[in-house]
Amino acid sequence: MDRVVLAFSKDETADKIKMMLDGSGYDVYTVCHSKAELLRTVSDMDEVLIIMGYKLPDGTVDDVYDDLMEGQKLMSIVKAERQSSIYNQDIFVVTLPLNRQLLINSVETFVGIIERRKHRAKRTPEEEKIIRDAKAYLMEIHRMSEEQAHRFIQKRSMDTGAKFIDTARMILNI
């Protein structure tokens, strides 16, 4: 996801963010100044990262999020006191003050989260069955709930540095 669209009502704010991103590998495609302009701009983009403040003249960050399509992700840069006003948990929030390194790290973190979610969804039906079987084994033999079994596999994976599916296979001795 290397296409970035900025949405700020003030040009000087957009210019500052654009300068911070310059040379980071994230190129700003365009700058929008209203929700309507933003939605028109991104309507034909499959994957885009939108970076905006808390609100535009015609809508808040939550309003914008509600109108986005799959693959269009939203990051909001806000004052700390505004953070609790953002209701949607899928909006990545960065609080001010902001410097170049914090912005780039935040974008990389957010893009990394998106990529991991995509990768997670690419499990084959066979892998899903192995994971279900490993959970069932733990539930039966060790009297765990499904959630406890999942967390056990997850923790073991993190402790050993193995993938979740590989840990499930080890539990089943496959």
Give tens-digit pLDDT for 141-169.
999 999 899 989 999 988 888 889 999 99
What is the reported pLDDT for 120?
A: 56
pLDDT > 90 in the chain, percent: 61
E-state strands within 44-135: 48-52, 55-56, 59-60, 72-78, 92-95
Categorize the per-residue pLDDT at 124 as very low, low, confident or very high, splitting at 50, 70 and 90. Answer: confident
| Higher-pLDDT residue of 169, 111 | 169
- The answer to whether residue 134 scores a pLDDT higher than 80 is yes
Contact 146, 139 (CB under 8 A): yes
- The answer to whether residue 11 scores a pLDDT higher than 90 is yes
In angstroms, the CA 171 to CA 156 distance is 10
Contact 74, 48 (CB under 8 A): no
In angstroms, the CA 13 to CA 37 distance is 17
What's the Cα-to-Cα distance from 102 to each of 29, 36, 97, rounded to whole Å? 21, 29, 9
What is the reported pLDDT for 26?
A: 83
- The answer to whether residue 118 scores a pLDDT higher than 80 is no
Average pLDDT over residues 48-58: 95
The pairing of beta strand 55-56 with beta strand 59-60: antiparallel
In angstroms, the CA 110 to CA 1 distance is 10
Global confidence as pTM:
0.65
Token digits for 88? 């949607």
pLDDT digits 0-9 by tens, 62-94 = 999 999 988 889 999 999 999 999 998 889 999
- The answer to whether residue 139 scores a pLDDT higher than 70 is yes
In angstroms, the CA 73 to CA 90 distance is 8
- The answer to whether residue 121 scores a pLDDT higher than 80 is no
What is the reported pLDDT for 3?
A: 84
80: CB partners within 8 A, 6+ apart = 95, 96
Within the chain, how many helices (H) and strands (E) appear? 7, 7
| Higher-pLDDT residue of 106, 112 | 106
